[in-house]
C-alpha cells in the first residue's frame, strides 16, 4: 500500500512528573538506522532546530514499519520502532542476556517444561487496559494461534498459557526450552492490548496499542511517525527524551546534509563518509552489531551439490579484501554467524576457511573440474562487492557471472522459490541464538535456501535449547553448536557490519545493545 494513511489525532499525555537525571555511567553507544533527509515540520508544537540545536526531540531516519502490529510485521528491522511502543515480558542486556521488563521475575520448573512469570503491578496499555496476566495470556495466544501470525513458528514450544491470578503467567511447554526468556525480549514477545485487537485488529497496523516508553500520537504512512514519552512506562525514569520522530531513510548520500541542516540529529552514515563526518564536527560512533555479511548457498542446486565445489568456494573468498573495499576496513573478518564478543562466537574456530585460492583450485581439480566450474553470483547490489567477489572466484578456478535482481524480489526468488544457487546477503542476529540458528540452518529456516540440515547440528541446537541461560555450561554448549554449524553447513560468512552513527552535539551517546535498540539515558537537548 503506497497511499498515505490519514494521520492519527494528536493525543497529548499529561506532563510527566519530575524525574532524576539519567545515569550517564550506563550510556555507551548503539548505532541507529540510516538517517532521513525529510524536512521536519513542527509536530505537536516541537520546533525544528538546526545542527547541534536544542529541544527534547530525537529525530531519527529509519525504515518505517511494515506494520505496527508485531504479529503481522514482516521485516526484521521493524523491531527497533516497534520497541518504542511495545514491551515484552523481558528485554536484553548488552551481552544478549535476558532481564526483567513487563515481568519482574521468572522461574522454570525442575524439568524445564513450565515457565512462570511474575508481572509488575499497576501498568496499563496506551488505551488504558491493565497489563495483567489475562492480557498477556491473550496476547501470547494470539501470536501462537492466529492463522496469519508471522511469529507463530517461534512459539511452537508453548503448549498452553494460564493466568492463575492477575500477576502470574504460566507457560506450559511441550519440551524443556530455556531460550524463551531471550526469545520473548523481541518482536515475538511484544504484548499487545487485548482490548485493541478484540475491537479492531486491522487498526493495529497503523495505530499500535502497547505499553512502551513512547506512545504514537500521529502517523502518516511512508512519511512520519510522531511519538511522546509515556510517563506511565515501567522504566519511565530512565527515558529522558520527550518527543521522538521517525522518518523514512533517505538516500545514503544525503545523510550528512540532513545532520548539517538540522533535519535529523542522529543518522546512520555510509562507511565512506566516516572521516568527512568527523571533519564536519559530528561525533561518529562505530558500533559493533549482530549483522554479518554472508553468502547463502543452495546445496540442492549445481554446482554446490558437490561438497568439493562448496569447500573450494569457502577457500576462494578473500574476506579481508572485501571488507576493506566495501566498508573501508570498518568491521572484522568473521567465519561464523555471530560477531566477536557475543556468547555464541567460538574463538577456537579461528580463520577456519582462510583465503587460499591454490587450495580452492586443487579441490576443483580433484572433483574433476580441470577447466573450472561455472557459478552465478545472485545479488541485489549492482556494483562493488559482487564484482570483487567475481574476480576472486575467477582467480580460484571458478567461472563466475553476476545476476542482479531487484531487492524487493530477492527473498521470494532465493528463499521461497529456492531457485538460486549463490546469493550475496547479510544476516542480522535474533534475540535468541537458537532462533538465529533455526532461521539460518533449520530444515524450515527462512534463510536456508536448500532447506537441508544435518542430524549433528539438530542435536547441537537441541542441547542449547535444553541448557538454562544461567548455567555455567551454557556458553560452552552454544559455542559447540556454532562450530558444528560452521563446519557442516554451506553458508560462507564474510565479515561483520558495524553501524556508523553520526550525531549532533545535542544528542548524547545511545546505549550499546546487541539486537533491539532502546534509548534509556539518551538526551536530545
User: Does 146 lie in the same domain as 178?
Assistant: yes
In a domain, 18, yes or no: yes
Residue 327 has pLDDT above 60, yes or no: yes
**Average pLDDT of 315-335?**
97
- Per residue in 49-104, pLDDT (tens digit) is 333 333 489 998 888 999 999 999 988 889 999 999 999 999 998 878 899 999 99
With the C-alpha atoms ordered 36, 39, 42, 47, is the resulting torsion angle positive or negative? positive
Give the mean model confidence (pLDDT) for residues 490-503. Answer: 92
Q: What average pLDDT score do residues 389-411 get? A: 95
Q: What is the pLDDT of residues 206-257, one digit of tens each?
A: 999 999 999 999 999 989 999 999 999 999 999 999 999 998 877 878 889 9
Average pLDDT of the segment spanning 391-417: 95
Q: Is 154 a member of any domain?
A: yes
Res 369 pLDDT > 90: yes
**Is the pLDDT reported for residue 137 higher than 80?**
yes
Residue after which a domain boundary falls, among 171, 198, 225: 198
Question: How many Å apart are CA 340 and CA 290, to the nearest integer?
Answer: 9
8 A C-beta contact, residue 168 and residue 133 = yes
Query: Is position 509 within any domain?
Result: yes
Q: What is the CATH number of the domain that holds 525?
A: 3.40.190.10
Q: Name the domain count of the chain.
A: 3
481 and 408 in a common domain: yes
Question: How far is the C-alpha of 187 from the C-alpha of 77, rounded, in Å?
Answer: 10
The whole-number pLDDT of residue 387 equals 96
Q: Phi/psi zone of residue 408: left (φ > 0), alpha (ψ -120 to 50 degrees), beta?
A: alpha
In this structure, are 280 and 303 located in the same domain? no
Percent of the chain with pLDDT over 70: 90
Least confident span in 7-16, 178-187, 194-203, 234-243: 7-16
Beta partners for residue 287, in sequence order: 499
Q: What local confidence, expressed as pLDDT, does residue 76 receive? A: 81
Q: What is the dihedral of CA 209, 501, 514, 120, to 10 degrees?
A: -40
Task: Indicate whether 176 and 232 sit together in one domain.
Answer: no
| Domain match, 46 and 106 both | no
17-26, 224-233, 415-424: which has the minimum mean pLDDT? 17-26
Domain final position from 140, 167, 198? 198
Q: What is the pLDDT of residues 254-299, one digit of tens each?
A: 889 999 998 889 888 889 999 999 999 999 988 888 899 999 999 9
pLDDT tier, 510 (very low <50, low <70, confident <90, very high otherwise): confident
pLDDT tens-digit readout, 461-472: 999 999 999 999
Please state, in angstroms and as integers, the Cα–Cα distance from residue 151 to each residue in 157, 170, 172, 396, following that order: 12, 19, 18, 42
Pick the more confident residue, 428 or 486: 486
Q: Are residues 391 and 273 in the same domain?
A: no
> Which has the higher per-residue pLDDT, 48 or 496?
496
Return the SS3 of 269.
coil
Q: Judge whether 471 lies within some domain.
A: yes
Same domain, 380 and 303: yes
d(CA 483, CA 472): 19
| Nearest-angstrom CA–CA distance, 217 and 12 | 7
As a whole number, the mean pLDDT across the chain is 88
User: 179 and 191: one domain?
Assistant: yes
* CATH number, domain with residue 176: 3.90.76.10
Pair 328, 354 in one domain: yes
Contact indicator for 74, 67 with CB cutoff of 8 Å: yes
Segment 443-466, tens digit of pLDDT? 988 899 999 999 999 999 999 999
Would you say residue 206 lies in a domain?
no
Tens digit of each residue's pLDDT (9 = 90 or more) over 105-126: 999 999 999 999 999 999 999 9
Q: Are 222 and 36 in contact (CB under 8 A)?
A: no
Residues 432 and 444 in one domain: yes
User: Closest Cα partner for 162 from 192, 121, 133?
Assistant: 133
pLDDT (average), residues 151-168: 96
Q: Is residue 204 part of a domain?
A: no
Tell me what pLDDT residue 27 has.
26
Indicate whether 47 pLDDT > 50. Answer: no
pLDDT of 36 reads 31
User: Do 122 and 142 reside in the same domain of the chain?
Assistant: yes
Cell numbers linked to 97 = 542476556
Q: Is residue 323 part of a domain?
A: yes
Domain containing residue 327: 291-496
Q: Measuring CA to CA, which residue among 94, 424, 444 is closest to residue 292? A: 424
Residues 299 and 262 in one domain: no
pTM: 0.81
Whether residue 148 lies inside any domain: the answer is yes
* CATH code for the domain of 420: 3.10.105.10
Amino acid at each position: 500500500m503506497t497511499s498515505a494513511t490519514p494521520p492519527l489525532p494528536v493525543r497529548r499525555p499529561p506532563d510527566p512528573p519530575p524525574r532524576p537525571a539519567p545515569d550517564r555511567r550506563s550510556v555507551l553507544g548503539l548505532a541507529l538506522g540510516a538517517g532521513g533527509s525529510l524536512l521536519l515540520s513542527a509536530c505537536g508544537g516541537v520546533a525544528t532546530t538546526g545542527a547541534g540545536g536544542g529541544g527534547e526531540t530525537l529525530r531519527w531516519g529509519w525504515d518505517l514499519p511494515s506494520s505496527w502490529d508485531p504479529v503481522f510485521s514482516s521485516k526484521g528491522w521493524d523491531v527497533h520502532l516497534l520497541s518504542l511502543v511495545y514491551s515484552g515480558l523481558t528485554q536484553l542486556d548488552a551481552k544478549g542476556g535476558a532481564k526483567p521488563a513487563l515481568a519482574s521475575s521468572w522461574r522454570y520448573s525442575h524439568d524445564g517444561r513450565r515457565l512462570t512469570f511474575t508481572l509488575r503491578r499497576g501498568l496499563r496499555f496506551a488505551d488504558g487496559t491493565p497489563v495483567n496476566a489475562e492480557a498477556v495470556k491473550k496476547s501470547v495466544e494470539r501470536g501462537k494461534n492466529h492463522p496469519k501470525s508471522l511469529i507463530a513458528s517461534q512459539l511452537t514450544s508453548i503448549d498452553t498459557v494460564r493466568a492463575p491470578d492477575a500477576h502470574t503467567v504460566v507457560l506450559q511447554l511441550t519440551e524443556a526450552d530455556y531460550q524463551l526468556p531471550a526469545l520473548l525480549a523481541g518482536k515475538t514477545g511484544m504484548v499487545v492490548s487485548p482490548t485493541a485487537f478484540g475491537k479492531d485488529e486491522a487498526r493495529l497496523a497503523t495505530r499500535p496499542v502497547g505499553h512502551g516508553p513512547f506512545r504514537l500520537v500521529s502517523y502518516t504512512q511512508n512519511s512520519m511517525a510522531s511519538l511522546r514519552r509515556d510517563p506511565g512506562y515501567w522504566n519511565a525514569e530512565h527515558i529522558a527524551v520527550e518527543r521522538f520522530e521517525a522518518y523514512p531513510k533517505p538516500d545514503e548520500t544525503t545523510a550528512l546534509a540532513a545532520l548539517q541542516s538540522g533535519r535529523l540529529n542522529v543518522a546512520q552514515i555510509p562507511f565512506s563518509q566516516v572521516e568527512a563526518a568527523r571533519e564536519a564536527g559530528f561525533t561518529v560512533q562505530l558500533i559493533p552489531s549482530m549483522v554479518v555479511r554472508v553468502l547463502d548457498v543452495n546445496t540442492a542446486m549445481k554446482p554446490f551439490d558437490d561438497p568439493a565445489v562448496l569447500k573450494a568456494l569457502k577457500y576462494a573468498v578473500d574476506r579481508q579484501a572485501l571488507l576493506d573495499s566495501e566498508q573501508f576496513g570498518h568491521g572484522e573478518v568473521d567465519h561464523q554467524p555471530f560477531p566477536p564478543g557475543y556468547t555464541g562466537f567460538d574463538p577456537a574456530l579461528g580463520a577456519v576457511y582462510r583465503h587460499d585460492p591454490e587450495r580452492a583450485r586443487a579441490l576443483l581439480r580433484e572433483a574433476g573440474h580441470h577447466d573450472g566450474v561455472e557459478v552465478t553470483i545472485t545479488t541485489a547490489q549492482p556494483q562493488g562487492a559482487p564484482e570483487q567477489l567475481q574476480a576472486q572466484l575467477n582467480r580460484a578456478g571458478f567461472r563466475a557471472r553476476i545476476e542482479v535482481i531487484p531487492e524487493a524480489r530477492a527473498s521470494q526468488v532465493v528463499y521461497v522459490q529456492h531457485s538460486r544457487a549463490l546469493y550475496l546477503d547479510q544476516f542480522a542476529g535474533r534475540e535468541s541464538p537458537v532462533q538465529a540458528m533455526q532461521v539460518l540452518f533449520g530444515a524450515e529456516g527462512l534463510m536456508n535456501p536448500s532447506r537441508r540440515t544435518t542430524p549433528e547440528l539438530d542435536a547441537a541446537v537441541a542441547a542449547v535449547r535444553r541448557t538454562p541461560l544461567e548455567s555455567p555450561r551454557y556458553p560452552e554448549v552454544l559455542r559447540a553448536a556454532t562450530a558444528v554449524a560452521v563446519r557442516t553447513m554451506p553458508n560462507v560468512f564474510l565479515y561483520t557490519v558495524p553501524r556508523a552513527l553520526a550525531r549532533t552535539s545535542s544528542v548524547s551517546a545511545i546505549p550499546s545493545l546487541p539486537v533491539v535498540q532502546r534509548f534509556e539515558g539518551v538526551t536530545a537537548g
